[in-house]
């Protein structure tokens, strides 16, 4: 049981896909204009990731090692097509919002990364739990990023107006550069938090290079 929990929880913080291992950045940057979009994309990824992990784990003994990447992609692609069809049937507005990024889940490096690094070496139950944890971590990150961008860029959260009436939307956040800036700020915030945590536990922390005047030597102060 504790092993299952360990595999599940590493996707939530230790190996959090977009922020800790910085994988799957394409949807992180592209579909997080609103919290809704991020959440929907995350759900699709949870489904594909868990199922592909299970399938890869089932077939791990019979997949020839030399063509394993192609096999993983075939498995992921079939799952993504089924997700796409399901979305068209039951969540068409979301499908229109996400557009090309639903088919692009196939080449999302989290799917391939978990299949290669975990599912192809571990039994079915562990792989399923691993995929579920990673997917949930991914969904939380996307929803959080989408929520921040939506809150400042449109003044709303999940479509409800949060900001006061005279708030002028900071549209930079929902444009493409806003995604990069927001992701960078969140990564730096995570780094600050991690080093603060390490310092509290008394572990060694990587410090920034020195900024004394003599390390530069340009001016004559």
Partner 1 sequence: MKPLSGSPVFTVSVPPHAHCGRTFKQDALGTIIALLPAAAFAVWHYQMPAVRVLALSCFTAVLTETICLYFMKREIEADNYTALLYGLLFGFLIPPAAPWWLVVAGSFISIFMGRMIFGGQGTNPLCVPLVGWAVLTVSWPDLMDFDMTMLASELTYPLSQLKNFGPETLDEYPIKSLLLGFQLGGTGAVQTGAIVLGGIYMLARKIIRPDIPFAFIAGVAATAAIFYFIDPFEYASPEYHLLCGATLFGAFFLATDGPSSPTGHTPMLIYGFIGGVLLVIIRIYGMYPDGVPFAILLANLMTPLIDKIKPGPFGGITSIHVRSRS
Q: Which residues bind partner 1 (CB under 8 A)?
A: 168-172, 175, 177, 181, 184, 188, 211, 214-221
Nearest distance, CB of residue 161 and partner 1, angstroms: 18
Which residue's CB is nearer to partner 1, number 1 or number 218? 218
Nearest distance, CB of residue 105 and partner 1, angstroms: 29
Q: Distance between CA atoms of 189 and 77, rounded to whole angstroms?
A: 35
Nearest distance, CB of residue 154 and partner 1, angstroms: 12
Q: Cite the DSSP H helix spans in 91-175.
A: 92-98, 109-114, 124-153
Which residue's CB is nearer to partner 1, number 81 or number 181? 181
Which residue's CB is nearer to partner 1, number 102 or number 182? 182
Nearest distance, CB of residue 167 and partner 1, angstroms: 10
Nearest distance, CB of residue 18 and partner 1, angstroms: 20
Which residue's CB is nearer to partner 1, number 166 or number 201? 166
Determine the 3-state secondary structure of 204 from DSSP. coil
The maximal CA–CA distance of the chain, rounded, in angstroms, is 70
φ/ψ of residue 161, rounded to 5? -75, 125
Which residue's CB is nearer to partner 1, number 22 or number 185? 185
Cβ partners under 8 Å of residue 97, min gap 6: 31, 34, 36, 37, 40
Pick from 143, 142, 163: nearest CA to 152: 163
Kindly give the pairing relationship between strand 156-157 and strand 160-161: antiparallel
The tokens describing 202, both together, are 């008394």
């Amino acid at each position: 049981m504790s092993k299952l929990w360990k595999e599940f929880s590493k996707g939530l913080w230790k190996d959090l896909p977009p922020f800790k291992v910085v994988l799957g950045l394409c949807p992180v940057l592209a579909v997080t204009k609103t919290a809704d979009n991020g959440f929907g994309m995350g759900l699709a990824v949870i489904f594909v990731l868990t199922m592909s992990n299970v399938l890869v784990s089932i077939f791990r003994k019979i997949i020839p090692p030399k063509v394993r990447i192609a096999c993983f992609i075939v498995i992921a692609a079939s799952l993504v097509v089924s997700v796409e069809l399901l979305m068209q049937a039951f969540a068409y507005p979301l499908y229109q919002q996400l557009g090309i990024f639903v088919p692009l889940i196939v080449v999302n490096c989290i799917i391939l990364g978990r299949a290669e690094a975990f599912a192809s070496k571990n039994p079915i139950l562990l792989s399923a739990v691993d995929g579920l944890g990673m997917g949930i971590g991914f969904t939380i990150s996307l929803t959080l990023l989408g929520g921040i961008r939506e809150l400042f860029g449109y003044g709303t959260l999940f479509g409800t107006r949060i900001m006061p009436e005279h708030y002028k939307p900071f549209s930079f956040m929902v444009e493409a550069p806003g995604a990069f800036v927001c992701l960078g700020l969140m990564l730096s915030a995570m780094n600050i938090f991690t080093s603060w945590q390490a310092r509290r536990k008394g572990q060694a922390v990587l410090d920034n290079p020195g900024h004394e005047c003599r390390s530069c030597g340009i001016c004559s102060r």
